[in-house]
Structure formats: structure tokens, C-alpha cells
Amino acid sequence: MAAQGHGAISRKAGALSGAAPAPGDKSISHRALIFGALARGTSRITGLLEGDDVLRTAAAMRALGAEVERAGGAWRVDGAPWRAPDQALYFANSGTGARLVMGAVAGAGVGAAFAGDASLRARPMGRVLEPLRMMGVEAKSRDGRLPVEILAGEGLTAVNCVLAKPSAQVKSAILLAALGASGETQIHEPVLCRDHTERMLAAFGVALDIKDDGEGGRIISIAGGQRLTPTDVSVPGDPSSAAFLTAAALITPGSEITITNVLVNLLRAGFYQTVREMGADITFENERTENGEPVADIRVRHSVLHGIETPAARAPSMIDEYPILAIVAANAHGETMMRGLEELRVKESDRIASVEAGLASCGVDVASGEDWLLVRGHGQAPKGGALVKTHHDHRIAMSFLTMGLASNQPVEIDDASMIATSFPEFFQIMSRLGGEIIARQ
């Protein structure tokens, strides 16, 4: 496993084979902890992602009054009335944890301060604070960024709002705040985004009314004053993490792998739809439903791929997978144009700039604009042979280590420490499948 603060290098090592699980889904893991802490009673969570981002949310739930502990192979959450924490809730690099807990704190009527690392402090929080203020929440912030302070207060008012941009984090914060508001809150979602909050709220006994708006979007209604009922949650594998294993098999000749127990929610499956359109040999097997979420095993075989254009409308279903899609595109025949990527400018790094610089240093023909990325592949392995700057972004780090497994020359990254935020066993699982990735001291 990579040592803290050190880089890593990957190189060709032959075909990948075998079966491996993806780590627990990060989005669902955050929600399971938060919802369990809001419920009065005991919830049990299996398959929780034990990465740094999720563990920060677990610590925040303890600070707010819930009992959260790992018990054997599962996690137990004993919910309780929330109280103001003794110090700021620190979320390190986790935008999901910070934004969702802002809404939950507001709905619970308690005050809390929110802090994060340098990367999180640079990311926009105003998109969450604005609708919360419409509901009557008093919040202080530094130009719409961390640090943020939510002041204790009661008497939130239900609102009707339209999501200006598709954001599951904003939608979720509003839904959680709405639990403490008087009246019925309506959210109009013109462009569909992740629906894990709606699915899990229902599993915890909260009633929602969800209707099509007749134009491809949805209107979600939720009445205030509802209590969550404790429930057990089985967290499926993260499709965003599974995308790295999928890509590695697609671009490494002779490979065939199976990734077990992966979430295949259509609102998260844009990457798999896209690589299939590029010619990928991917099948979903043993499809089933767990906790209201669709799950499957994913079988992947090395494939001859061709470039395509990905529509902007698909971006919400694969926003985290564009860096690894760019790696796949670098191994394909022809141009791959990715549109609708403006959200990538405000992730853990400016991911468009990070991907473009990394690909160019590895000999790939690449261009970009404010909201698009173009990769020109030649149907063969890229040169590689570069040291790529990750800008402390876990998805950039894993994308270029995946690239090195098929490149003509090894690919090195400057920092692998942050990979643990979302995929703690990345090195071990890649090694189990036959990949060669070595930590650098």
C-alpha cells in the first residue's frame, strides 16, 4: 500500500484476470451514517466504505451526539437527538459529507461550524447555503466557501425550488433540511441526478412523492416533521471505483475480470453506457435489488475501442468517471469528445486541466475548453513515461496509475496518499488481478 505522502508507479505486467469486489459505494456510505444518526434507535451498516472521507462523516455523527462504532464486520449507529458539537466538524477533502451534513444540521435545528482542508476550502458551498437560507437557516461563510457556520434555529419554512444545476449534494441537503421545516418542500429537478437520498429516505420510513415533470425531469415533495425509523443497510460496491478496474481490463490485452456486487443504478451508470458505445465487452450478471438499489456483478473483457462523442446530458450520471474515461479514450481509435464537464473545474482539483496536462505529458493528443475535453487515440497503447501531478486528487491519481498498466513506458504519480479517501484497497486489488503498481518512497 502506498505510504502517506509518497507517489507510486505502474507498468505493463500482462493480462488481468480473476474476480474482486469494488469498495463500498461512497455516496451511499455517507448517507447510511447520516440517516442512521438521525433515526432514533440502532441501524446496522454492512459494506461501509472505510475511506477517509466516510470516516470523517462518522466522526461528525459522533460529535453531533450519535454513537457510531465498528462492530465486527459491520458498523452500528445508535441515533439520538442531535446537539451542537464542541468544535468545528472537520471534513478534510469530503464535499459530500460537508454539504449533506449542513442540510441535516439545519433540519435538526442545531448549530455547527464546518471546516476542511485547503482543497475543500476552495470548493463552492454557496450552492447549498442559498436554498438553506431561503428556508430560514442563518449561515455564515467566507464568500460562499468554508469555513461555514450554521447557527441554531427552529421554525424552518418549506420552499419550492428549482435545481439550477444537477447536483445530488444540493438536492440532498435541501431534503434533509426539509425534515425540520413546516409544510411541504418541493424540489424541481429538470435534469436527473443521483437519487440515493430519495431511495434511502424511503428505506428509513420517510414518505416522499416523486413525479415526472413531463419534460424528462422530476418533482420531489417531502413533508416536514417526519421521523426516520432505524434500518439495516447493505452498501453495494462503488461504480466509480469499479470504473478503474473496468478500464484496466478494457485497455490491457488478454484481460478478463469480474467485479462483484457493484451498484448499477442508471443515474450512476453513464460510464458503462459510454464504454459500451465505444465497443467495450461488458456484461452485468447476477442482477438483483438490495435496499432499493440495483446491484450486479460486472464482467469485463479486453476490447478494441473507438472514439465517440458523449452528450452533455449524460454528465450527471458519470461526472466522477471522466478522468478514467479519458484514459480509455487515449487507448481507443479516433477522437472522443466529452461535453458538459463544467462541474469538473470545481472538484478536488480542476480535473479538466489535470487530465489534459497528464495525458499530454504521456504523449497523448488532447485539447480542452471550459466545459469540454477532446482526446485523440490511435488504437494503440500511449507512450507513457511521465511523472503526473495529481494535485491531491484521488481520481487523477488512480486514473494515471491505471493508464500505466497498458502504456509502453511506466507512468508515475507524485502523490498516492489521497487514494485512501475513496479506494483504500486500490493497490491490493489491482495486484490481486495481476496489475503492477508500486509505492515509491
Q: Answer whether 8-24+236-439 and 26-234 agree in fold.
A: yes
320 flagged as catalytic: yes
What are the boundaries of each domain within the chain? 8-24+236-439, 26-234
**pLDDT tens digit sequence for 80-139:** 999 999 999 999 999 999 999 999 999 999 999 999 999 899 999 999 999 999 999 999
Q: Which CATH class is domain 8-24+236-439?
A: alpha beta
Which of 53, 320, 393, 415 is catalytic? The answer is 320
CATH topology of domain 26-234: UDP-n-acetylglucosamine1-carboxyvinyl-transferase; Chain (3.65.10)
pLDDT of 436 above 60 = yes
- Which pLDDT value is given to residue 159? 97
**pLDDT tens digit sequence for 225-284:** 999 999 999 999 999 999 999 999 999 999 999 999 999 999 999 999 999 999 999 999
Name the percent of the chain lying above pLDDT 70: 99
pLDDT of 213 above 70 = yes
Q: What HEC string does the chain produce?
A: CCCCCCCEEEECCCCCEEEEECCECHHHHHHHHHHHHHCCEEEEEECCCCCHHHHHHHHHHHHCCCEEEEECCEEEEEECCCCCCCCCEECCCCHHHHHHHHHHHHHHCCCEEEECCHHHHCCCCHHHHHHHHHCCCCEEEECCEEEEEECCCCCEECCEEECCCCCHHHHHHHHHHHCCEECEEEEEECCCCCCHHHHHHHHCCCCEEEEECCCCCEEEEEECCCCCCCCCEECCECHHHHHHHHHHHHHCCCCEEEEEEEECCHHHCHHHHHHHHCCCEEEEEEEEEECCEEEEEEEEECCCCECCEECHHHHHHCHHHHHHHHHHHHCCEEEEEEECCHHHHHCCCCHHHHHHHHHHHCCCEEEEECCEEEEEEECCCCCECCEECCCCCHHHHHHHHHHHCCCCECEEECCCHHHHHCCCCHHHHHHHHCCEEEECC
pLDDT of 309 above 60 = yes
pLDDT of 49 above 60 = yes
**pLDDT tens digit sequence for 58-72:** 999 999 999 999 988
Reported confidence tier of residue 3, pLDDT bands at 50, 70, 90: very low
